[in-house]
Structure 1
Amino acid sequence: MKFSYLKELNSLANVCHSNNEGKAMFERKFKYRLHVENADLGEVELINPIAIGEAVKVGNKSYRITDIWHSKTGSIAYVEIID
C-alpha cells in the first residue's frame, strides 16, 4: 500500500515538473499577485512557493500570507501588512 502511494505521489510530481516548462525545481520562479485589504499590490516573482502564515518581503515592506488561491490564469496571495 505504501509503495503505491509513493508511486502516485512521484507521478504527480512529474506532472507538476513537466507543466513548468521542464525547469528543475530550484530553477523555477513562482509568480503571485498580492492583494491586501481590497488593494492589488501587483505581481511578485519568488524563488520558493509560499505557504499560509509565511512572511514575505517585497521591496521594503513585509507581509504575512493569509490565503492563497490558484487558477489556470495565475495565483493570488492574500496578505496582511506586518508592522
Structure 2
Amino acid sequence: MPERLVPNAAALGGWRRSSYSGNEAGSCLEVVDGHPGGIPVRDSKVPDGPALLFSAVGWASFITALKQAPSTPKT
C-alpha cells in the first residue's frame, strides 16, 4: 500500500519506465530511482498527475506480487 501521494508528479525529475511495464504504448508505469522519500510511481499517460510514493518494503511487496501473478495470454 502506498504511504504517500505526490500531487504533481512532474515536479519530480528522473522518471524512467519501469522494467515491469509492457512495451505497449499507454500501459506504462514510470519510477524515480534514488528518491530520498521512497519510490515514486506514476502513470506515463498522466505526467502532471499524482504519483504514489512507496516505501522500499512496499515496492518490494508490489513487485513480488506482480512476479507471482499468473500472466494473461495476448490475443
TM-score by length of structure 2 reads 0.31
Higher strand fraction (1 or 2): 1
Q: Which has the higher contact order (CA 8 A, sep 6+)?
A: 2
**Max radius of gyration: which structure?**
1
